[in-house]
């Protein structure tokens, strides 16, 4: 695993630990991250479910329906940003999308 893979794995781990998050879906990659994924296809690691494109971290979650989805999304934003910063990943933005509620 590369340090980028380790960082994305740490972000994933932090996101799934947020109360109210029930699922973490693979974010839709842009062309740049798709090319990167194709290059790394030979690795045995599972593809990351979070994507970084040009400094933008993209996260897609499912929520449990008990906590308000905007509250959960804000909490995911905060922990994803903190996890990325802890691992030295500089971001310009964190996009959190709620794909499913309840």
How is the chain split into domains, by residue range?
3-101
| Per-residue pLDDT tens over the stretch 74-98 | 999 999 999 999 999 999 999 999 9
DSSP annotation of 65 reads S
Which run of H or E residues covers position 86? helix 69-86
pTM over 0.85: no
CA distance 44 to 64: 31
| Per-residue pLDDT tens over the stretch 3-22 | 788 999 999 999 999 999 99
**pLDDT score at 102:** 85
Instruction: Pick 3-101's CATH classification: 3.40.50.2300, 3.40.50.10210, 3.30.565.10, 3.30.70.1350.
Output: 3.30.70.1350
Average pLDDT over every residue of 60-66: 95
| Per-residue pLDDT tens over the stretch 24-46 | 999 876 655 555 555 555 555 67
SS3 25: strand
**pLDDT score at 44:** 55
DSSP annotation of 53 reads E
CA distance 56 to 65: 27
Q: Quick check: 59 and 39 in contact, CB under 8 A?
A: no
């Amino acid at each position: 695993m590369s340090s980028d893979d380790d960082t994305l794995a740490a972000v994933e781990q932090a996101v799934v630990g947020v109360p109210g998050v029930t699922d973490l879906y693979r974010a839709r990659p842009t062309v740049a991250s798709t090319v990167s994924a194709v290059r790394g296809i030979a690795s045995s690691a599972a593809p990351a479910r979070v994507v970084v494109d040009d400094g933008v971290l993209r996260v897609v979650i499912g929520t449990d329906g008990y906590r308000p989805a905007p509250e959960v999304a804000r909490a995911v934003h905060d922990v994803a940003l903190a996890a990325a910063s802890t691992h030295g990943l500089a971001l310009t933005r964190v996009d959190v999308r709620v794909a499913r509620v309840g």
